[in-house]
Chain A
């Protein structure tokens, strides 16, 4: 793996049984993601976008092929790659997923492993207009603020790879674009993979991949 390739998927497939029917959610996908790259992943509902993202994150074990993150082949058990994931991967989900009894700062730093995460958090919060909300609990925030709070959580550890699954799906256009702007700006040295239904959110992406029936196609 060349030095600037962060993530490599080699012929990964994911199959599961839906009753008696065998579903192939991801079909022999191979891709490489380099440091600093912004990759968009689009496709219709049920095309396997999220499944591929979970495979790339090590949360699902591929039924065929393998995924390498920073040169390490991800093991089949998600628990076995937990430390690698926590140290190097930032997640942003469609739902903010904030712990309700923790404030924004605690939500962001609770998972952080970076020694300067706290300093970094202050700068990030200022950059996305959340500096006055760090001590707020999630129930006092609007939908957009909650998503920005989860952005702080995803980026506080300065991850090498950020995986975002429909991060703007529940936001209005303006807030969605604002979140994407921050995401792009704050992941300059890292790789960013964004799954979305809305190609408009992938403005400035280095590559946009199209997934149909689990098969990857260049857009």
Chain B
């Protein structure tokens, strides 16, 4: 029975030679952390955009498509919805908010004041600062994250009439701040419909509330109804803006992101793998005598290649885990110190960087083990012994 020699275990080498494995380990830790720090913030747009459209979980918006407003026929069609609980005329505005790169938008809805309480209750929002707008005034309440993102203070005005660069038409004054999960703003429909004011030209919307438990069926009815023949073949009578529609829009905007991230990660992975294999070969130089001895006294090359592969893989996996921890820590710090104060959401533990950065340990292990395996296969133990003897 052969002894199981712990002396030849890959772990023995790794635990007793921290200085030798440090360069390879550190490079992989830093590259993995860097990939996490680069890739994770790309979810900020998606996380923030999805939070901004979260209110659509509670209601659905219907917007006329071929006419500027709802005629009797359209309204009849909406009222025929068997799951309809309430239908409220509204106007919809989009507030621009800066993201890490470019801008995102958050919704602000103008509703008849009589419906505000029910609306806020439905989306789970409450007033946390300031006051609700006076009837007929330009006052609005905005979600606290949007207020932070836009850098607004209570009493300050915004809109295209205040700043020509602003995409929100007209002029509004922030009078209160809303808290809650839904990033929604609220304005007075009467003010937004004032005929002497530019806002009157903003197309009207209908906010559709479904009966309890009937939202999916209601949305399905609306999506089906927009293709009614009465409105001309192929023409959509109205757009249905529900959570599914917005999810599709967001996904469309991010469609190319995995390709870009994949390209960056693979390029980095290949470069790092080559560097690692080079460092492994350099580090192996000081182990030539050790492996020459193993071969001479009767260890099979295949077993020694396995030992080297396990050593390489163990360093790569440990470095990957340490890199993930470092990267996730850095991302959390970035979110807390820089993004959250600006109203930008970020998912700290994102599976994408975890998966993409796996290319670093996988490629490093493969190239490292192949490079060392080739060295070992070419090694002549007699030459090693004679060189030492000559020395």
Contact = CB atoms under 8 A, between A and B. Distances in A.
Nearest to B291: A99
B282 interface: no
Given A60-B382, A113-B3, A165 B389 contact: yes
Given A54-B382, A82-B299, A86-B299, A109 B7 contact: yes
Given A60-B382, A84-B298, A93-B389, A101 B5 contact: no
B16 A79 contact: no
A117 B3 contact: yes
Contacts, number: 85
Contacts of B289: 97
Given A99-B7, A101-B12, A101-B16, A93 B297 contact: no
Contacts of A94: 388-389
A17 to B, nearest CB: 15
Contacts of B8: 110
B301 A86 contact: no
A110 B294 CA distance: 9
A218 B16 CA distance: 49
A102 B293 CA distance: 13
Nearest to B2: A113
A97 B5 contact: no
Contact of A97 (B2, B6, B12, B388): B388
A106 B6 contact: yes
A102 B298 contact: no
Nearest to A102: B7
A86 to B, nearest CB: 3
A166 B388 CA distance: 12
Nearest to B386: A50
Interface in A73-103: 78-79, 81-87, 89, 91, 93-95, 97, 99-102
Interface in B1-42: 1-3, 5-8, 12-13, 16-17
Nearest to B301: A79
Interface residues of B, number: 30
A59 B7 contact: no
A168 interface: no
Contacts of A84: 298
Contacts of B391: 95
A207 interface: no
A111 B382 CA distance: 18
B5 A59 contact: no
Contacts of B378: none
A111 B381 CA distance: 16
B388 A93 contact: yes
Contact of B17 (A60, A85, A101, A115): A101
Contacts of B1: 115
Nearest to B381: A59
A78 to B, nearest CB: 7
Which of B1, B301, B385 is the most central at the interface, judged by chain A CB atoms within 10 Å of its CB? B385
A111 B293 CA distance: 10
B296 interface: yes
B5 A109 contact: yes
A153 B13 CA distance: 19
Contacts of A86: 297-299
A117 B295 CA distance: 20
Interface in B337-391: 381-382, 385-386, 388-389, 391
B76 interface: no
B134 interface: no
A112 B295 CA distance: 14
A107 interface: yes
Contacts of A106: 5-7, 12
B391 to A, nearest CB: 7
Contacts of A79: 295, 300-301
Contacts of A57: 296
A57 B381 CA distance: 12
A59 B296 CA distance: 7
Contact of A78 (B12, B381, B386, B388): B381
Given A91-B297, A93-B388, A165-B389, A109 B381 contact: no
Given A93-B388, A99-B290, 17 more contacts: A59-B382, A78-B381, A82-B298, A89-B297, A89-B298, A91-B297, A93-B385, A95-B385, A95-B388, A97-B293, A100-B290, A110-B7, A111-B294, A111-B298, A112-B3, A112-B5, A166-B389
Interface of B: 1-3, 5-8, 12-13, 16-17, 289-290, 292-301, 381-382, 385-386, 388-389, 391
Interface of A: 50, 54, 57, 59-60, 78-79, 81-87, 89, 91, 93-95, 97, 99-102, 106-107, 109-115, 117-118, 153, 165-166, 169
The 5 A-B pairs of least Cβ separation, nearest first, read A86-B298, A110-B7, A106-B7, A85-B298, A101-B16
18 contacts: A59-B381, A82-B300, A83-B298, A83-B300, A86-B298, A86-B299, A91-B297, A94-B388, A94-B389, A95-B388, A97-B289, A97-B293, A99-B7, A106-B6, A107-B7, A112-B5, A113-B2, A115-B1
